[in-house]
């Protein structure tokens, strides 16, 4: 993985994923390991994403490296019309590693081809966000003790949710069983069903949030109004995919509720106090996972 860009979760094999998770646990046990004291990391956020940026920059700082960059394109030369190519060519002269967030899909792959240093994709439009996927996997492994043979419920916007797509692809290495819970308009796209069928992975599609007693992981996502072509349809379904504490009553002891955050109303605040709520801890895991990814790419661990 040394010097290899991380653009898409499919860039990593099963063994590489497991190696990152092992490293993440190592950084969680001791977060202050300034092994990158002589390095400079560029953090290029062509669109704002405070949560992801702070998580990355915390990881970089805990590794002892310096950060250069910008937090939205208004304060970069993009506002003067500079292309991604030119920005990347220039920055790769300065930094040892580039972390990049960009609204256009495929921009990260393109940047990785133009840069002389490795690129970590921190989200390219609706396409990929592989570090989110790895921190989801880390959270799942940590709470379940394994990634193998789990029953995973994915709820909400399964059509456009990139975190859902990347996570199901990554979990496909570990013999999962999926329940896809979504309104018809936001159902899981055909290409992912074909992908799962090819890999012989069992899945169930359901429009109602029931059978939760089977779940090991409940992965919630936001159902956004602007995704619906018919606003009436949104009004009709919006409350069908809200998780309330009472619904967790007969669920498994080991069940954990995950959410990539930010949440709006899809998890009622009465769930927050439940020992099964894991979404805030999940965000914290992001720092250790990103430390692991950076250290692995820089060849330091």
Partner 1 sequence: MTQHKQLQVSAIENGTVIDHIPAESLFVVINILGLDTIPNQITFGANLDSRKLGKKAIIKVSDKFFEDSEINKISLVAPHAKLNIIRDYEVVEKRDVEIPDEIIGIVKCFNPKCITNNEFIKTRFRVEDKNDLMLKCHYCEKITSRSELKMV
Which residues form the interface with partner 1 (CB under 8 A)? 8, 83-85, 102-107, 109-110, 124-128, 191
Q: Least distance from C-beta 109 to partner 1, angstroms?
A: 5
DSSP state, residue 226: G
Q: Least distance from C-beta 66 to partner 1, angstroms?
A: 28
Nearest one of 290, 289, 280 to 67, comparing CA atoms: 290
Is the Cβ of residue 108 or residue 220 nearer to partner 1 in the bound state?
108
Is the Cβ of residue 122 or residue 298 nearer to partner 1 in the bound state?
122
Q: Least distance from C-beta 107 to partner 1, angstroms?
A: 4
Is the Cβ of residue 124 or residue 136 nearer to partner 1 in the bound state?
124
Q: Least distance from C-beta 9 to partner 1, angstroms?
A: 11
**Among positive and negative, which fits the CA dihedral 262, 263, 264, 268?**
negative
Is the Cβ of residue 106 or residue 299 nearer to partner 1 in the bound state?
106
How large is the angle between the packed helices 130-144 and 279-297, nearest 10 degrees? 120
Q: What is the DSSP string of 22-62?
A: HHHHHHHHS----TTTT-EEEEEESS--HHHHHHHHHHHHH
CA 156/CA 158 separation, integer angstroms:
6
Peptide bond into 262 cis (omega under 30): yes
CB 104 within 8 A of CB 125: yes
CB atoms within 10 A of CB 91: 21
123 backbone φψ class: left, alpha, beta (φ>0; ψ -120 to 50) = left
Q: Least distance from C-beta 10 to partner 1, angstroms?
A: 9
Name the phi and psi angles at 73, rounded to 5. -70, -15
Is the Cβ of residue 114 or residue 274 nearer to partner 1 in the bound state?
114
Q: Least distance from C-beta 262 to partner 1, angstroms?
A: 22
Q: Least distance from C-beta 86 to partner 1, angstroms?
A: 10
Is the Cβ of residue 68 or residue 126 nearer to partner 1 in the bound state?
126
Is the Cβ of residue 186 or residue 212 nearer to partner 1 in the bound state?
186
């Amino acid at each position: 993985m040394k010097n290899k860009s991380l653009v898409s979760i499919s860039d990593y094999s099963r063994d590489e994923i497991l190696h990152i998770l092992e490293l993440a646990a190592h950084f969680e046990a001791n977060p202050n390991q300034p092994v990158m004291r002589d390095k400079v990391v560029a953090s290029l956020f062509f669109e704002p994403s405070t949560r992801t940026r702070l998580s990355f920059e915390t990881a970089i700082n805990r590794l002892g490296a310096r950060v250069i960059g910008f937090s939205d394109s208004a304060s970069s030369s993009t506002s003067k019309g500079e292309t991604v190519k030119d920005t990347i060519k220039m920055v790769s002269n300065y930094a040892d590693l580039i972390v990049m967030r960009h609204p256009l899909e495929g921009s990260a792959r393109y940047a990785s081809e133009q840069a002389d240093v490795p690129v970590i994709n921190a989200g390219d439009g609706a396409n990929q966000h592989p570090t989110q996927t790895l921190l989801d996997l880390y959270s799942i492994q940590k709470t379940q003790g394994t990634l193998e043979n789990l029953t995973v419920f994915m709820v909400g916007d399964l059509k456009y949710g990139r975190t859902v797509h990347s996570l199901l692809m990554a979990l496909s290495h570990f013999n999962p069983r999926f329940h896809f819970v979504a309104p018809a308009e936001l159902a899981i796209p055909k290409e992912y069903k074909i992908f799962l069928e090819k890999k012989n992975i069992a899945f169930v599609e359901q429009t109602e949030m029931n059978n939760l007693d089977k779940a090991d992981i409940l992965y919630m996502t936001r159902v956004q109004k602007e995704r619906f072509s018919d606003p009436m349809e949104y009004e009709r379904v919006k409350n069908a995919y809200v998780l309330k504490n009472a619904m967790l009553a007969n669920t498994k002891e080991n069940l954990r509720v995950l959410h990539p955050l930010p949440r709006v109303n899809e998890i009622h605040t009465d769930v927050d106090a439940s020992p099964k709520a894991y979404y805030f801890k999940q965000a914290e895991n992001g720092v250790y996972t990103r430390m692991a990814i950076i250290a692995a790419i820089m060849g330091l661990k």
